[in-house]
Amino acid sequence: MSVKINYKNSLPKINSSNLVLFTDENFNISSLKKYISHSEQSYISDLLKTKDVKRKILFFDINSKRKIILISLKKNLKSSDLENLGASFYDQFKNFKQNQYHLVSDTSPNHLRNASGYFLHGLKLKSYSFEKYKTKQKNKNISIIVSGKNRPSLIDQLKFKSIEEGTFYTRDLVSEPGNVLHPDEYAKRISSLKKIGLKITVYDEKKLKKLGMNTLLGVGQGSVRGSYLVTMEWNGLKDKSKPLAFVGKGVCFDTGGISLKPAKFMEDMTYDMAGSAVVVGLMKSLALRKAKINAVGVVGLVENMPGGNAQRPGDIVKSYSGKTVEVLNTDAEGRLVLADALTYTEEKFKPKFIVDLATLTGAIIVSLGSEYAGLFSNDDKLSNQLINAGENVEEKVWRMPLNKNFDKLIDSKNADMQNINYVGGAGSTTAAQFLQRFILNKTPWAHLDIAGMAFSKYGGALNSGGATGYGVRLLNKLIEDNYE
């Protein structure tokens, strides 16, 4: 199903169409005379006495062709409340047979900047579904015409749209199965983003070998597909100022390797590239909205397979940083991919900060479920900026500890470190503590463990289930509020 939104300058004929109007918290319709006829008003007033006005959205069937929909806006509304209202409106109208609506933005209070914009943003985000592989697609198209002077400005329209497109791109990538979106195909898809103004550099196995990225290469060596590091640069400031850096885990499928995962739910591991997909979707949205910042996205793309050439438990590999790692469990592969990607990003781009995203540990789901991503960081300022941005767009993060006392759990007898700890628990923290060892120059760094956030079996406020795109809006907000 697709929802198209068209903005119109003047008020089109609305006396015969499905109308969406905002009211105050008491469904007071006296100010809506301009939009609804006298008889409609009295009909609605009568019915209002019988309706459950605790609900925020009420539908009135005027006749078989016309519905009037009232959305009540309480005082002190936040932008996320408006987004949630839009999403809940979508959930209710998606099954109606009507497919054209008029939204009159002027019925929203003037002090609420962009009320209709946030409302439609939530609606749009909720309307996404991945139907590429359904041979019978639901061909329903809903069109919403938005008129009035309180509609979002052109600049805000572009901002909303680019964030939607970035989020949808992330969701598309995460939803693709492992047989389609393997590393070779993924690298190609990212390369196609050249056309929107991103500078893309693809490092294939040969180049990675030369650079010494052996922890990344070790993970992919059991796969018939290639392994890649891909960088995406957005130069919105047209100068050489330090970029913001985003790094993502792109394990296109995680079987666990020789430390094979159990069969049950192994199919979920098609979303083990979600961290990288957030980085790609974010870079796409920054380019589309021509963000006034310099940013770089770096993703490590591999497939973790068992096979004749696969990495063995006990193997010792030398990372790009020069530090050596004993691979005790081939299923703790994400940190191996990120290790090389982090050091490379810090050395090559000398960024202001690095935020990495990864579906890194099952343990973070035990801690935080699907409510918060785990945040691990060496920097209080960056942490607080992420926490605030997360609260704002309802993509929340919860800070978890890093501490040198955890280091003993990953020190190895045979190499500089080992990739898992057998005793001591704290699985998500030890993974983060491992990553921290590959930040060599004290760059402010934050790691987001999004294992519980990337995919939703039941759907959330702004997604209808499946890939959530969690992180694209969070990072856009972080940038918009603090760096633009």
The three-state secondary structure class of 279 is helix
Per CB under 5 A, residues contacting Zn ion are 251, 254, 272, 331, 333-334
To the nearest 10°, report the CA torsion of 300, 423, 411, 266: -10
Beta bridge partners of 455: 467
Q: Which two tokens stand for residue 468?
A: 């959530």
Annotate each residue in 285-314 with x if it binds ligand BES (CB under 6 A) or - if it does not, as one string.
------------------------------
23 binds ligand BES (CB under 6 A): no
Our CB check for Zn ion shows the closer of 172 and 272 to be 272
359 touches ligand BES (CB under 6 A)? yes
Task: Decide: is 254 part of the binding site for ligand BES (CB under 6 A).
Answer: yes
Nearer to Zn ion, 4 or 312 (CB): 312
Neighbours of 466 (CB within 10 A): 17
The token pair that represents 133 in the structure block: 């592989």
**Structure-token match 């300022």, residue found:** 381
The conformation of residue 470, written as its DSSP 8-state character, comes to T
Cβ proximity to ligand BES, 12 vs 362, nearer residue: 362
Residue 103 contacts residue 120 (beta carbons within 8 Å):
yes
Considering only the stretches 8-16, 330-338, 399-407, 475-483, report the one whose residues sit in contact with ligand BES under the rule CB under 6 A. Answer: 330-338
Contact between residue 305 and residue 255 where contact means Cβ atoms under 8 Å apart: yes
Closest-approach residue to ligand BES (CB): 362
Residues in contact with ligand BES, total (CB under 6 A)? 15
- Angle formed by the axes of helices 472-482 and 380-393, nearest 10°: 120
Q: Could you tell me the two tokens for 194? A: 């050249």
Residues 442-471 close enough to bind ligand BES by CB under 6 A: 451
Beta carbon of residue 364, minimum distance to ligand BES (angstroms, whole number): 8
Rounded least distance, CB 26 to ligand BES, Å: 45
> How is residue 454 written in tokens?
């990337």
- The residue among 250 and 281 lying less far from ligand BES, judged by its C-beta, is 250
Residue 261 is among the residues annotated as catalytic for this protein: yes
Q: What is the smallest separation between the CB atom of 427 and ligand BES, expressed in angstroms? A: 6
The reply to whether 363 sits near ligand BES by the rule CB under 6 A is: yes
Q: Does 401 bind ligand BES (CB under 6 A)?
A: no
- Counting contacts by CB under 6 A, is residue 334 touching ligand BES? yes
Give Cα separations from 69 to 44, 106, 149 (angstroms): 10, 15, 20
Nearer of residues 103 and 363 to ligand BES, judged by Cβ: 363
Using rule CB under 6 A, residue 331 touches ligand BES: yes
Q: Does 328 bind ligand BES (CB under 6 A)?
A: no
Tokens of 327: 């691979």
Minimum distance from residue 279 beta carbon to ligand BES (Å) = 16
* Residue among 106 and 303 whose Cβ is closer to ligand BES: 303
Active site residue 13: no
Of these residues, 56, 66, 261, 352, which one is catalytic? Answer: 261
- Per-residue tokens: 14: 């609305």
Nearest to 354 by CA among 339, 365, 364: 339
Which CB atom, from 150 or from 428, has the smaller least distance to ligand BES? 428
**Stretch of 117-125, 329-337, 406-414, 460-468 lying at the interface with ligand BES (CB under 6 A):** 329-337
When asked if residue 361 is in the footprint of ligand BES (CB under 6 A), the reply is: yes
- The rounded distance, in Å, linking the Cα atoms of 87 and 120 is 8
User: Which CB sits closer to Zn ion, 256 or 281?
Assistant: 256
- CA torsion sign for 337, 338, 344, 345 is positive
User: CB neighbours (10 Å) of residue 370?
Assistant: 17
DSSP secondary structure letters along 191-215 = HGGGGGT-EEEEE-HHHHHHHT-HH
| Given 233, 333, 340, 395, the residue binding ligand BES (CB under 6 A) | 333
**Contact at 8 Å (CB) between 301 and 227?**
yes
Task: Answer yes or no whether residue 20 interacts with ligand BES by CB under 6 A.
Answer: no
Say if CB 46 and CB 40 are below 8 A apart. no
**Exactly one of 225, 335, 437, 477 is catalytic; which is it?**
335
CB of 346 to ligand BES, least distance (A): 23
Q: Which two tokens stand for residue 221?
A: 């060596």
Could you give the CA distance from residue 88 to residue 124 in angstroms, rounded to a whole number?
11
Residues assigned a catalytic role:
261, 335
The site for ligand BES (CB under 6 A) is made up of 254, 272, 329, 331-334, 359-363, 420, 427, 451
